[in-house]
Structure 1
């Protein structure tokens, strides 16, 4: 069931949006991985994040290893601090997720800058805002999903 939710996130991440909305698309796969690493850190860990990141790299055609590295770092941070993060309320978690997403985008820019020589644009950080706003809904939806199917 965990893999099904990650697969759905991969599909949603690959759905093309209109050009005007493209910069605002949240990082669905990373949000789902962070939820599962908080809820079940013994089942979704760095290895899972690395494999899913590799799939994401292959699916969107980015340089191999960029998503793998950044997903692994973020899942490591969330999984190693899951007991602390679980004690925060959902709005507080949303603010923390915004910091994690900002770190993700800055890491992704940094690695991409060295590999393909891109330049930073402030619009790279729009998914931080949309991702933190969607965290509340993702958290509530996946918690209900996890409890309904008794995923442990």
Structure 2
């Protein structure tokens, strides 16, 4: 029974690994937000287990691994996860294309928050290239949702 509950932790660790794994430079522009997608799934499926606190800790780990100022990714992950967990009952009833559009919006919000916070610290200029991962996350959402739901049901994660 305990192994079933640790699947959430394992999936979040896998999201962190997929988020930082090296990719070829042309493909890196389109890297989906793996950690955000996994946190959004768990916030929608089990909002009592994965919430803003888990997103904040995962964001701190991401800040440490990326070498950014502490709290940038933590805050940027916490906002979309909060919005998902606050509206999980409504979003569960959406069709898959509607959920994918919501993931696009939440991913765009995540990237804009990261940009704004990094802009305040370093003054970097905005480029639309920052938004390509949002489209990749939207396209990947149905498959990741299906995969995580299949594991959650088979392992009886509650």
Coarse TM-score class (shorter-chain normalised): over 0.9
TM-score using structure 2 length: 0.95
1:50 partnered with 2:72: no
Matches of 1:13 and 1:125, distance apart in 2: 16
1:9 partnered with 2:11: no
Matches of 2:151 and 2:63, distance apart in 1: 27
TM-superposition CA deviations, 1:92-111 (whole Å, max 9, x none): 10011101111111111111
Q: Kindly report which structure 2 residues correspond to 1:9-28, keeping only aligned pairs within 5 A, or say none.
A: 9-28=15-34
Deviation at 1:62, TM superposition (A): 1.4
Uncovered stretches (5+) of structure 1, i.e. residues with no partner: none
Correspondent of 1:126 among 128, 132, 136: 132
Match of 2:104 in 1: 98
Matches of 1:85 and 1:58, distance apart in 2: 32
RMSD between superposed Cα atoms in Å: 0.6
Deviating above 4 A after TM superposition, structure 1's stretches of 4 or more consecutive aligned residues are none
Matches of 1:101 and 1:10, distance apart in 2: 16
Q: Kindly report which structure 2 residues correspond to 1:35-46, keeping only aligned pairs within 5 A, or say none.
A: 35-46=41-52
TM-score using structure 1 length: 0.98
TM-superposition CA deviations, 1:8-49 (whole Å, max 9, x none): 111111110001111100110010000000000000011100
Matches of 1:12 and 1:121, distance apart in 2: 24
Matches of 2:103 and 2:83, distance apart in 1: 11
